[in-house]
Structures are given as C-alpha cells and as structure tokens.
Amino acid sequence: MEEKVEKTFYVTTPIYYVNDIPHIGHAYTTIIADALARYQRLKGKKVFFLTGTDEHGQKIEKTATEKGITPKELADRVVIRFKELWQRLNITYDYFIRTTEKFHEEGVQKIFQKLLEKGDIYKGTYQGWYCVSEENFLSEDVPLQPEGYKICPDCGRKAVLLEEESYFFRLSAYQKPLLDFYEANPQFVRPQTRMNEVVSFVRQGLKDLSITRTTVKWGIPVPGDPKHTIYVWFDALHNYVTGVGYDWNTELFQTFWPADVHLIGKDILRFHAIFWPAFLMAAGLPLPRTVYGHGWWLKDEAKMSKSKGNVLDPYLILEKVGPDPLRYFLLREIPIGQDGSFSHEGFVHRINSDLANDLGNLVQRTLTMVVNYFNGSLQEIGQEKEEDKKLARLFEETRDRVYALYDDYAINRALEEIWTYLNAVNKYLAECEPWKLAKIPETRPRLARILYQAVCAVRASSYLIYPVMPETAEKIWAFLGEQKKPGEVLTSELNFYDFRPDQKINRPEALFPRIDLKEFIGEMEKPKTEDYKASKLEAKMEYISYDEFKKMDLRVAKVLTAERVPGTNKLLKLQIDLGSEQRQIIAGVADSYAPEELVGKEFIVIANLKPAVIRGIESQGMLLAAEIEGKAIIPFFDREIPPGTKVK
C-alpha cells in the first residue's frame, strides 16, 4: 500500500441502524462530521465524508417482522428518513453507504475469505449469552442472575443462551500488536480517557471473537458456507473501507484510506478501537488515524428512550428554527468527548443570546448603518487608529487559534473563540458610538472607518463560522455582495482587510429571530404522528397536458461503445445509434452497470433535450432510468427494435 497522499481528509460517521428513525443523537455525530468536512475543504483538502446505514442483523430482522414487512423494505423506508434529515441539516456527505449494497457485501466476503485462508478466521463452537437488542454476545464478566439468566448491561433486557457452530476471529493473537499500536499512536483513541479505558480492557486479555451466526438469516452469507451469516458488526465496520473503494476503486481507496477520523458514540468504542484495528491488521490494511468517541446527549439529564417518550425529534426543532441554530447548539454546548443535556430552556437561551444578540444584532446593526449612512457603499475612509488596528490584529490571532482548534476537533472551543471575538467587535462599536458620529458631518471619514472595520470583522468572522453554520455564512455573504464562495477563500487566504470599501452592501434581514421560550416549549411538545411524517415524504402530483408530453422526442437508442468518465464513480460516456445519426451521451449509471454490459443494449433516450456539458464532456440527450437509492436501473426492451424508433 502506498503512503496516503497528503492533502486529503477522510471522515466517517457510524452507519445507523434502520430499525428506528433518526433522532438527535444521530444528528449530532453527522453534524460534527459535516463541520469537520467543510472546514477541511476550506483548507483546500480533498475530502471524503462517508455516512450511511447498517441494515443487516437480527435486530432489523425482528423489527421488520413486527411491522409485517421484509428487512429490505424496512431499510428502504428508513433510509429515506435519514437522507431527508441530512438534506435539511445541510449535510454534505460524499457517499451514503448501505450495507445491503452489492459492492459492500462482496467486499466483506472477500475480506472474510482472505482471513479464513490466512488462519485468522477458523471454525469452532460458541456458547454464550446473547442480547438480541444490542446484537452482541455479553462479555463473560456480566454476572448470572439468581434466576439463571444474564441481563444485557447496555439495554437492561434479558439475554438468551446461545450455542452454535461459529467462525471465530483470532482476536487473542492481536492483544500484543494492539497494545504496541496504542502505545505508538496515543492519538488513536480520543479523548484520552477513552484511550485509557481501551488499553486497560485489552491488557486484561482478549478472547477470540465469534463472527458468524446460523440463527440469523438476514445477513451476508459466509462464502462457501451459506448457512452461516456474517455477524453484523464484522459486516458493518468494513463499510469504512468498502465505502471508499476497497475492492472496486483502487484509486479512490488509495487516495483516502486510512481514515483520518471515525466519529462514534462512546457506546460503540470497543468495536471501533479494538475489533476494527484488529480486523484491519489481519487484512494487512493501514489503520485509521483517530477514533473519536463522543458523549451522549441526554434530555434534561435523563437518557433518551422511546419508552420514556423523551426522544428529541430533530424535525420539530428544524421546523421551528432551521438547521443552523441546531447545528450551533449541539456543537457549541459540549466538547466532543463529554455528555450533554438538552433542555428547551438551555437551547432557547443559547440561541437568543449567542445567535440573535451577539451575532445577529452585530450583522444587522453594522450593515444597516452602512446602508443608511452611506447608501450601502463606504467612501472616504479615515485613517486607522490604534483601536482599529487592534480589532484587525485580534481577528488574526482569533483566526489562527480557531483553525488550530478546528484542526484538533475542538469545535466547541473554536466557537467560543469566535464568540469572544464577536463580543470584542460589539464592544468596539459600543465604544466608538458610530450612531452619534452620524449626526456630525465633519466626522464622516471616521464614521466610515469604524463601519469599515466592523464590516471587515463581520465578513472575516463569517468564514470562521461557516463550517458550523453554512447557511448563516452564506446569508452574510449575500448581504455583503461577496463574490467568492467557500473553497475560493481558503483558510490560508482569509485576511481581515480583504473587503473592498466601496463594495455595495445590501440591506440585511434578521438572521435569527428571537425565540419565545413558552411558545417554543408548546411547539416541541406537540406530538408528531408517524402519518404526519410519512405524508411529508410524498411528492405532490402536478399534471401536464398531452401537448406538453408530446414535446418530448423519445427514441430507441442502441449503445455502440461505453466507457467510464475518468475521475467519477457514477458516469459513463456512451456512443449511441439513433438510426439516422450517432450521438454521445453521459449517463449516471456506472453504479449499476459496467460499461461492457451496456454495449449492444437498447433503451429510451430523450433525443431533443438541450445538450449539456457534464464534467467537461458534451451530452446530447438523456437516457431514461428508474432511480433506487441513488442508483439508476435502466428499463430495457423485451425484443430488438430498430434504433431511432419513436416511443410515445
């Protein structure tokens, strides 16, 4: 394996179980990942951000049976919920992996086979207490109850005694290599307290791990021995490599693997900090740089659970305040490693004081003064005074500290630094009192200078805020008439004075309306039924007339040649025969079809669609396909048809 190319960043979230709809806990990890991904892109890095769903195993099988549907149907439904939530939270993942995807299943089987051949996996018999809900055999040290059974320490449910023929992973052989690895890589598990937990656990000795089940049907079959399915955690953990090209896109894999950081909840630390590196060592793959175990969100100090009915519904919060306040609150309130308690009071207070007051008012006041006093564009700016220079210097110091904190995944401290700075800007304005100077014509240059400093401070700070609150940053840029988009202003290029004084500023709108606590609590307590949520997923039907339909020139096309578009995973370049002419089209079907599979095939294209340039290549038409989970499935004909035949 080549050394990982510099200038890349690969971040992952856990893949979420599909037996439940997303809640605030899932949103938390995904928002952290998104903020880090956005920040790293601002640094000019090539970023890969992977999230997705964990769809196999007994728990999913059980929930699906209870609902009277197949596990795959259950997964298909819940995946929509996750994707919708990520969209509403402005999550910029690069790929959403589902463990039921073929390439993942094949990748896992390949690795299984490899370890089997190597002797790191062997066949034996397993007997142990198994928790159906956690998909996990309990560790041996869980005490037996007087009634003769064990209780799962994680969920409090009764475990069942299972004995079965099983394949084992030789985890015991990796105790020493793991301990050596932890010692050489003290940043592998963060925060430090979690690293200590892991080390002391591994020091106590590791037993071989049963990694197949005969009792579970809904799983990836063991290659060559299909009565066994692969244990859901062995399956799931490998998403981090299959999702980034392992065994299907060497270039992608070599560019991004090993991951820079796996973000996870502290409850799944052992899987990620012990099993996962051991699996990777066995497979001869490089190990991730960091596993960051974040804390647990509680509701008013209590654990959230469906039975208590205190699970926070992110949709409700989003409906009321939009994505940025939620993103801000979750990232600002606690350091990534600690537990946090979500209370409506705490949430509303933070939004009102930090967002509505400190940031919102600053932006509003500053820009409104520029519009009111200078018609939106500052002229004849006076000389810089010491306090003006101080504001610029303070920004530069803040910026460097904020970057160092983001680099260290200390997002809450980065936000603290930004807010300390915003308060310094508010103080500067309070002391300079531009609204008083506005009444004295002779002090106009001084007034312009003060406002210029404040505008520069607002603009520059917006780039620091962007990873956490992208919509807010974009609104500020729109007020400022800022031409550059993130990615164009790299972190290395962010300077206080990079704003042309005469740049026309637009009248700002309020960024964060103040929230009334009582009203907020009332709305949060409104129960939202499943039906309500489901109805929101349905698209509204809009009819078109037959005449409108007739405008489309649909034709049968035959594929002459097909090749991948370099640098993309989805696109194929096809030369097609349309009877009277040949054309080139670009089609996003590479997820489902290899180029050679398509040659000679016939399908329907819209021949009169305006040509478009996709990835620098002209596409003269579009083929029709069904889309399932982002993958295109082409409808083919049941007999051969002359190319160019009209379809109507």
**Which residue's CB atom is positioned nearest to ligand MSP?**
265
In the complex, what is the shortest distance from the CB of residue 294 to ligand MSP, in angstroms, rounded to a whole number? Answer: 7
CA distances from 261 to 8, 12, 183, 287 (A): 12, 7, 18, 11
Which residues between 387 and 426 bind ligand MSP (CB under 6 A)? none
Q: What angle do CA 234, 260, 564 make, to 5 degrees?
A: 80
326 Rama sector, left if φ>0, alpha if ψ -120 to 50, beta otherwise: alpha
Binding mask 85-114 for ligand MSP (x = CB under 6 A): ------------------------------
Closer of 54 and 101 to ligand MSP (Cβ): 54
Q: How far is the CB of 399 from ligand MSP (least distance, A)?
A: 30
Q: Using the rule CB under 6 A, give the single segment among 9-17, 404-412, 484-492, 507-515 that binds ligand MSP.
A: 9-17
The C-alpha atoms of residue 452 and residue 497 are separated, in whole angstroms, by 9
Q: CA 92 → CA 88, 320, 400, 647, distances in Å?
A: 11, 22, 25, 38
> Tell me, what amino acid is at 217?
K
Kindly provide the residue ranges of all beta strands, DSSP E only, lying in 132-169, ordered along the sequence: 136-137, 160-169
Quote the CA–CA distance of 473 and 632 in Å, as a whole number: 35
> Is 209 a binder of ligand MSP (CB under 6 A)?
no
- Nearer to ligand MSP by Cβ, of 16 and 477: the residue is 16
Which stretch in 15-23, 70-78, 389-397, 535-543 sits in contact with ligand MSP by CB under 6 A? 15-23
* Shortest Cβ 404–ligand MSP spacing (Å): 26
CA distances, 525 to each of 21, 98, 494, 634 (Å) = 18, 33, 43, 45
Q: For the stretch 356-384, what's the b/e string if a residue is b when 16 or more beta carbons lie within 10 angstroms of its beta carbon?
A: bbbbbbbbbbbbebbbebbebebeebeee
User: Toward ligand MSP, which CB reaches closer, 234 or 512?
Assistant: 234
Distance of CA 511 to the CA centre of its chain: 25
Q: Which residue has the tokens 């700075």?
A: 421
Nearest approach, Cβ of residue 18 and ligand MSP (Å): 8
Piece in contact with ligand MSP (CB under 6 A), picked from 235-243, 284-292, 375-383, 550-558: 235-243
CB 20, min distance to ligand MSP, A: 7
Count the alpha carbons within 13 Å of 405 in the hemisphere toward its beta carbon: 23
| Closest approach of ligand MSP to the CB of residue 292, in Å | 11
Residue numbers 241-270 binding ligand MSP by CB under 6 A = 264-265, 267-268
Contact range with ligand MSP by CB under 6 A, out of 14-22, 159-167, 209-217, 379-387: 14-22
Of 180 and 267, which CB lies nearer to ligand MSP in the complex structure?
267
Closest among 291, 239, 311 to 25, alpha carbons compared = 311
Nearer to ligand MSP, 237 or 460 (CB): 237
Smallest distance, Å, CB 314 to ligand MSP? 11
Task: For the CB of residue 424, give the shortest distance to ligand MSP in the complex, in Å.
Answer: 33
Interacting residues with ligand MSP between 298 and 357 (CB under 6 A): 304
**What's the min distance (Å) between Cβ of 51 and ligand MSP?**
10
SS3 state of residue 385:
coil
The angle formed by the CA atoms of residues 128, 131 and 137, to the nearest 5 degrees, is 40
Within positions 52 to 81, which residues make up the interface with ligand MSP, using CB under 6 A? Answer: 54
List 10, 11, 15, 412, residue binding ligand MSP (CB under 6 A): 15
**CA 376 remoteness from chain centre:** 38
Beta bridge partners of 229: 213, 221
Question: Residue 84 Cβ, how far from ligand MSP at the closest point, in Å?
Answer: 16
CA distance 51 to 154: 24
| HEC sequence for 276-343 | HHHHHHHHCCCCCCEEEEECCEEECCEECCCCCCCCCCHHHHHHHHCHHHHHHHHHHHCCCCCCEEEC
Q: How many C-beta atoms lie closer than 10 Å to residue 466's C-beta?
A: 22
Residue selected from 25, 323, 588, 643 as contacting ligand MSP according to rule CB under 6 A: 25
Tell me the closest approach of the beta carbon of residue 85 to ligand MSP, in angstroms.
13
Pairwise CA distance, residues 97 & 277, whole Å: 20
Q: Determine which residue in the list 26, 81, 558, 573 makes contact with ligand MSP, applying CB under 6 A.
A: 26
Shortest distance, position 312 Cβ to ligand MSP, whole Å? 8
| Piece of the chain touching ligand MSP by CB under 6 A; list 25-33, 399-407, 428-436, 506-514 | 25-33
Among 237, 348, 359, 494, the residue binding ligand MSP under the rule CB under 6 A is 237
Q: Which listed range, 12-20, 284-292, 316-324, 439-447, lies at the site for ligand MSP (CB under 6 A)? A: 12-20
| Cis peptide leading into residue 186 (ω within 30°) | no
* 258 token code pair: 């090993």
- # of chain residues touching ligand MSP (CB under 6 A): 19
Least Å from the CB of residue 56 to ligand MSP: 10
Both structure tokens of 32: 């952290």
Q: CA-to-CA distance for 544 and 546, rounded, in angstroms? A: 7
Q: Which of 236, 274, 369, 625 binds ligand MSP (CB under 6 A)?
A: 236
Query: Would you tell me which residues interact with ligand MSP (CB under 6 A)?
Result: 14-17, 25-26, 28-29, 54, 236-237, 239, 264-265, 267-268, 296-297, 304
